[in-house]
Structure 1
């Protein structure tokens, strides 16, 4: 069951991309989503928000070179997890091992449902079946 309290920010200049991504998150049970269309709105919400975003999904071309989105997201304490999509392979600094699990890079022009599920499983892991304290299930009756 998804954690309905997760805060998700989607940043893309194309309205249709924002709508598609928001609907894909809605299909997974996430509804606290803020879509923004420019880098200034992204910066304002991330920097001046009262609580961190659990997931920030950003088109890598959003800043058009005015800001290094990769490093901004990687080192910002207001971003717990992030996905940069439409990423070009050149010009990215290496991701430190301590941050690799929280930054997801995609070369796809727009992530699909499968890609978003992979990311949300890291952000909001599915609850597993509860185990007995001794690590195995109870057996009914006695074997002969």
Structure 2
């Protein structure tokens, strides 16, 4: 049974893609989702949030050269897990196996239901985890 208290943030510049990803989460009974359309909005919510996000799903191209996504998620206590898609386009390096529980990088253009289901099997655990990075190829 899904933990409906999980906080999920979806970041993509394209409204249609944000909505499509949100619907995938809804199909899995996750509804506590905050969609954002720009990097500044993501940074504001993460930096000034009163509680950490359990998962941030982000299009790698959103950060461009303005932010090193891997370091940002690796060292940010306000984000427990991160899923970065379109990682190949952003030329993200491979993630060490020891960090793959906090950050995942996918080279697909958009996550599908199967990848979101696998991701949530790692994220949706009853015991709180301390930061996790995941890498999907």
Counterpart of 1:90 in structure 2 is 91
Q: How many residues align?
A: 125
Unaligned runs of 5+ in 2: 127-137
Q: 1:114 aligns to what SS in structure 2?
A: helix
Instruction: Check if 1:57 corresponds to 2:57.
Output: yes
- Give, in angstroms, the shift of residue 95 of structure 1: 3.6
Sort the Cα spacing of 1:91 and 1:117 in 2 relative to 1 into closer, same or farther, 3 A: closer
> What is the alpha-carbon distance in structure 2 between the residues aligned to residue 23 and residue 103 of structure 1?
22
Structure number with bigger Rg? 1
The answer to which structure, 1 or 2, has the higher relative contact order (CA under 8 A, 6+ apart) is: 2
Q: Taking structure 1 as reference, are residues 93 and 72 closer, same or farther at Cα in structure 2, changes over 3 Å only?
A: farther
**Which runs of 4 or more aligned residues in structure 1 lie more than 3 Å from their structure 2 counterparts after TM superposition?**
93-96
Unaligned runs of 5+ in 1: 127-144
The alpha-carbon deviation at position 64 of structure 1 amounts to 1.6
What is the root-mean-square deviation in Å for CA atoms of aligned residues?
Answer: 1.7
Task: State the Cα distance separating 1:26 from its structure 2 match.
Answer: 0.4
TM-score, with structure 1 as normaliser: 0.81
Q: 1:25 matched to which residue of 2?
A: 25
